[in-house]
Amino acid sequence: MIKVTRFNSDGEGEIILNAEIIEMIEQTPDTVITLTNGKKLIVEEKMEEVVRRVMTYRRALGGNFR
């Protein structure tokens, strides 16, 4: 699980996202996360930061980088 901030949420839009269901991350220029169920989330964090958080999460699980 990773913590991200919904876009334009005035600091109250922090959510915990299951990193295992992320299908794709785009920078368009906002960061758009597409989930395996087709849902899209626009978040405040840059694409590189989301990737870093996912990698940190996966390392914590023992390095399972599918």
Which tokens belong to 57? 């999460």
Tokens 């990193």 sit on residue:
19
What's 6's DSSP letter?
B
Q: Give per-residue pLDDT as tens, 1-44.
A: 999 999 987 767 899 999 999 999 999 999 999 999 999 999 99
For the purposes of burial, counting CB atoms within 10 Å of the CB of 22, is it exposed (0-12), middle (13-18) or buried (19 or more)?
middle
- Identify the pLDDT of residue 19: 95
**Where are the domains positioned within the chain?**
2-60
